[in-house]
Structure 1
Amino acid sequence: MSFVTTSDHTHSLASPPKVIDQLFKKAGINVNGKQPWDIQVKDQRAYSEILRRWSLGLGESYMSGYWDCRSIDELIYRLLDANLDEQVTGLAQLNVAWHRLKAQLFNLQNIHRAFIVGERHYDIGNDLFKKMLDPLMIYSCGYWQYADNLEQAQLDKLDMICRKLELKPGERMLEIGCGWGGLAYYAAKYYGVNVVGITVSKEQQKIAQQRCEGLPVEIELIDYRSLDGSFDKIVSVGMFEHVGQKNYQQFFSIINRLLNDSGIFLLHTIGNAISSHGTDPWINNYIFPNGKIPSSQDITKNIEGQFLIEDWHNFGSDYDKTLIAWHRNFNDHWYELRNNYSDRFYKMWNYYLLSCAGYFRSRHGQLWQLVLTKRQRRPIYRSIRIEPT
C-alpha cells in the first residue's frame, strides 16, 4: 500500500519551524532524520497543522499524506513519554485546553448520545473486525503472560475472567458491552451460565446472536441505563471507556442495583496514569467519539460506599502486544478489504492502532481488571491469575 502524497509540496521543503524542531528533539525525534521514529515531512502544511492543533493536527496531516514515519508506534511512544502535551504553546495549547474543557462542561455520553460510538465505530464493517481480530472477535486487551499468539492470549483472558467471576452452572450473568459475543459464548459454553449481553452496535448484535445460537444467551441492543433485573455475576469488558466522567456514579449505582448481594462484578477497562477531563482529540474525532479513559481516582471515588475492591490487576503492557497483533492482521488482510475502504481509511486505521500501541508503551495507558463486591457478600474472595499449562 503506497501512501498518498501531495507532490506539489514535496520539493525544496524549508527547514522545520524552530518551535517544532526543538519540541520534537525533547522527545529524541528529528524532523527528516534517519531513525525509524523520525518524522519525514513531505508537505510543509504539516508544520502549520501541528502548530495549530497539536495531536489532532498531527493525526490529520498524516492522513493527508503530509508526513510519514517508518515506526509510528515508536514516534507516539516518544512524544508521550516526553510529556509534550504539557509543553506545547500558542494555538496548540489552546486546542488541547478546549478539548479538555468541553468534556468537563458537557455530558458527552448522555443517554441520547449512547449509540453514536456504535454507529461510527463498531458498525463500520464486520469484515474489517473479522480479519483484524481473533476467531471469537474479542476487541479488548489479550492476556499474554503464557500466550505466544493472539488467539491464545484472548482465550486465556476469557478463561481468567470466568474464573475471577467464580462462574457456576445455572447462574445468571450480565455482560455490559458484549461486543461480537465472544465472552458470552465462552461463558455459556464452558461454564454453563445464562447470559444477558447488551451492546449499542447493531452489527455486533447480529454476529453475537449468530455466534451464541443454541446457547442460553440473550443479546439486546440497549444502553446500560435501560437495564433492570437481578444477576449473580456482572462483567463489563472494554465498555467503561464510553461511560464518561459525568456518568460514573450512575453507572456504578446501576451495577449495585442489578447485582445480587452475594454476587461479583468484574470491570475490565483501559486506565489513564493520571486524571484528565478529556481524551485525545484525534481519537475522539476519528475513532471513539465521546470516549473518556478513567484514572484510578475516577474509579475509587465513585465506588466508595457501593463496592469493595477484592482485586485490582494491571496488565497494561499486554495491550501494546495486542494492538501490534491487530495491526499485523489488518495489514496482512488489507488486500481483501481494500475494495470496501479508502486509502485515507487505511492510513487512519494504521495510525489508530500504532498510536495506541505507543500510548500503552509509554505507560500513560494501563489495562485494569477490578473485581468488586458488595459489603454484604460473606464468602472470602481469592484473587485469580492464569497459570501456565
Structure 2
Amino acid sequence: MQQSSPVSPLTTDDTAVSIPPPEPPKVLQDVLARADVQINGTRPWDIHVHDKHMYDRVFASWSLGLGESYMDGEWDCDELDELFTRLLRADMGSAALGLARVKLIAEHLRHKLFNLQSKNRAFEVGKQHYDAGNDVFEAMLDSRMIYSCAYWEHAQTLEEAQFAKLDMICRKLQLKQGETLLDIGCGWGGLAKFAAERYGVKVTGVTVSKEQLALAQDRVKGLPVELLLQDYRDLQGTFDKVVSVGMFEHVGPKNYDTYFTHVQRLLAPGGAFLLHTIGIASTSQSTDPWIDRYVFPNGKLPSAREIATAVEGRFIIEDWHNFGADYDRTLMAWWEKFERAWPELESRYGTRFYRMWKYYLMCCAGFFRSREGQLWQVMLTHPQRQDTYRSLR
C-alpha cells in the first residue's frame, strides 16, 4: 500500500531542488541487507534518506534514533508497515552496534531492575498517550471507540470486527442479566456500555486517563455503569465477572503477582475472568525504546510463561485464544481512518505528530505481521468455581 507523507520536497520559488541522496555507511547497508532492505532503493519498503544526520542518530541509539529521525523528516518509506515487518523478522534489534547496543542493554536492565509500573507511576501513560486528544481517537477508532485488537474472522469492516470482539468477550464470560462486571482498563467505556445494554449487567470500570473518563461517563449516561479514575490496586468489592482488555501491558512483571492476587480477591468464588493482552514469545524481548518514550511509557509486554506462572495457584486456565494476526488488520484500519481524518486534525497537531502517529501504527502493524507479537484472550476461573466451563468462540 502506497503511503502518503505530509513532508514536501525542498523548494525554492515553488521549483523543486534536486539534491542527491547522501551516501549511506556500508556497515548500515550490510546490516539492513539481512532484512532485504536497501537505502535509497526502488522498492516500496526501502528507506529514502533526506538528511545524513539520520545515520548518526541510528548509530547513537538504534531504534530510538530511527524513530526520532523519521519524526523529524530525515527519511521516508512508502510502506513503513512492510519495512518494520522485514526488520523484525530479521531480528534487527540484536544487530545494534557500538554505543547503540550499550544503550539497548541499559534500557533492558532498567525494565528488569526497576518497578516502572509502581503505583505512583500508574497515571503516566494516561497523561502521555490516552490523554493525547479524544478527537484523534474518535477519528481513528470505531463508533464505540474500542482501542484494542478487533476480531476479523467473519467481519468485513472495523465496526463489524469490534462488535464481534465485544460480543465474543461477553459470551466467553457467560454474562447473565443482573450480574456485576468489573472492567479493569475501561477506556472510553465501549465494552461497559455494550455489556450493560446487551447483557443486562451492572458494570464498574476504571481508567488512568482523565480524558477517557470524561468522554466515557458521557457515553454511558442512563446505564447501570460506574466509571472511575483509579488504579487497579485501589479497587474494592466483589464482582461476578472481571474483564481486562488491553490494560495488562501496563502492569509490569514486578506487579504480576499483586495484580492476579488482587483480581482473585475481587472475583466471586463462582466467577470468571477474561484477560485480553498483547503477548511476546520470550521474556528476553525488550520494550522498544521509541515506543517507551513516545507512545506507552513504562509498558512491558508479558510472555506466556510469565502469565502462567503468576496465574498458578490463583486461577484455573480454561482457555487460551490467540488471534494476533488480527491486530495487523486492526492497526491498518485505524491508520486508514486516521489518514482520512488528518486534514481536520492537522491544524491542532502538526506534521511531527502526524509522523509520530504514523510511525507508531505502522511499526505495531509490522510487529504483529512478523509474528513477533501475539494477541491473547486467556479465560480464567476462580479455583472455587464448581460449574464446568465450556470454551466459546
TM bin (shorter chain): over 0.9
- Residue 158 of structure 2 corresponds to residue 150 of structure 1: yes
Paired AA for residue 171 in structure 2: R
Listed one character per residue, the Cα deviations across residues 66-122 of structure 1 (whole Å, up to 9, x for unaligned) are 110000000010000001111222112112111111111111110001111111111
- Residue 234 of structure 2 corresponds to residue 245 of structure 1: no
3-state SS, counterpart of residue 355 of structure 1:
helix
- Residue 338 of structure 2 corresponds to residue 319 of structure 1: no
Paired AA for residue 366 in structure 2: G
Residue from 115, 120, 144 that aligns with 1:112: 120
3-state SS, counterpart of residue 141 of structure 1:
coil
1: distance between equivalents of 2:238 and 2:376? 25
1: distance between equivalents of 2:283 and 2:89? 16
Question: Which residue of structure 2 lines up, in the alignment, with residue 34 of structure 1?
Answer: 42
Question: Which residue of structure 2 lines up, in the alignment, with residue 291 of structure 1?
Answer: 299
Shift of 1:6: 7.5
Return closer, same or farther for 1:240/1:153 CA change in 2, 3 Å cut-off. Answer: same
Question: Which residue of structure 1 lines up, in the alignment, with residue 82 of structure 2?
Answer: 74
Shift of 1:316: 0.1
8 Å CA contact 2:22, 2:49 repeated in 1: no
Paired AA for residue 209 in structure 2: S
Shift of 1:374: 2.0
Residue from 271, 276, 286 that aligns with 2:279: 271
1: distance between equivalents of 2:306 and 2:95? 25
Listed one character per residue, the Cα deviations across residues 160-202 of structure 1 (whole Å, up to 9, x for unaligned) are 0000000001001000000000000000000000000000011
Shift of 1:268: 0.2
Residue from 290, 295, 302 that aligns with 1:282: 290
2: distance between equivalents of 1:261 and 1:129? 37
Paired AA for residue 313 in structure 1: H
Question: Which residue of structure 2 lines up, in the alignment, with residue 217 of structure 1?
Answer: 225
Residue from 2, 6, 11 that aligns with 1:2: 6
Residue from 365, 369, 382 that aligns with 1:374: 382
Question: Which residue of structure 2 lines up, in the alignment, with residue 160 of structure 1?
Answer: 168
2: distance between equivalents of 1:103 and 1:246? 10
- So what's the TM-score if we normalise by structure 1? 0.97
Question: Which residue of structure 1 lines up, in the alignment, with residue 341 of structure 2?
Answer: 333
Paired AA for residue 18 in structure 1: K
Paired AA for residue 134 in structure 1: D
Q: Which runs of 5+ in 2 are unaligned?
A: none
- Residue 65 of structure 2 corresponds to residue 61 of structure 1: no
Q: Which ranges of 4 or more aligned residues in structure 1 deviate by more than 4 Å?
A: 4-10
3-state SS, counterpart of residue 104 of structure 2:
helix
- Residue 134 of structure 2 corresponds to residue 126 of structure 1: yes
2: distance between equivalents of 1:114 and 1:241? 12
Structure 1 stretch 205-214 or stretch 319-328: which is displaced more?
Answer: 205-214
Listed one character per residue, the Cα deviations across residues 259-312 of structure 1 (whole Å, up to 9, x for unaligned) are 011100000000012213641000000001110111111101111111111000
Shift of 1:339: 1.4
Listed one character per residue, the Cα deviations across residues 330-388 of structure 1 (whole Å, up to 9, x for unaligned) are 00000111111011000000000011000000000000000001221111111111xxx
1: distance between equivalents of 2:353 and 2:185? 25
Identity of aligned residues (%): 56
Return closer, same or farther for 1:129/1:79 CA change in 2, 3 Å cut-off. Answer: same
3-state SS, counterpart of residue 333 of structure 1:
helix
3-state SS, counterpart of residue 320 of structure 2:
strand
1: distance between equivalents of 2:37 and 2:286? 26
2: distance between equivalents of 1:118 and 1:267? 20
- Residue 91 of structure 2 corresponds to residue 83 of structure 1: yes
Question: Which residue of structure 1 lines up, in the alignment, with residue 391 of structure 2?
Answer: 383
8 Å CA contact 1:167, 1:193 repeated in 2: yes
8 Å CA contact 2:22, 2:50 repeated in 1: no
RMSD value, Cα: 1.5
Paired AA for residue 104 in structure 2: V
Question: Which residue of structure 1 lines up, in the alignment, with residue 317 of structure 2?
Answer: 309
3-state SS, counterpart of residue 263 of structure 1:
strand
- Residue 50 of structure 2 corresponds to residue 46 of structure 1: no
1: distance between equivalents of 2:320 and 2:257? 19
Return closer, same or farther for 1:4/1:255 CA change in 2, 3 Å cut-off. Answer: farther
- Residue 204 of structure 2 corresponds to residue 193 of structure 1: no
The size of the alignment, in residue pairs, is: 385
Q: Which runs of 5+ in 1 are unaligned?
A: none
8 Å CA contact 1:101, 1:278 repeated in 2: no
1: distance between equivalents of 2:383 and 2:205? 26
Residue from 321, 342, 345 that aligns with 2:350: 342
2: distance between equivalents of 1:152 and 1:60? 35
Shift of 1:10: 8.3
- So what's the TM-score if we normalise by structure 2? 0.96
8 Å CA contact 2:22, 2:51 repeated in 1: no
Listed one character per residue, the Cα deviations across residues 32-68 of structure 1 (whole Å, up to 9, x for unaligned) are 1011000001110111111111110110000111110
- Residue 244 of structure 2 corresponds to residue 236 of structure 1: yes
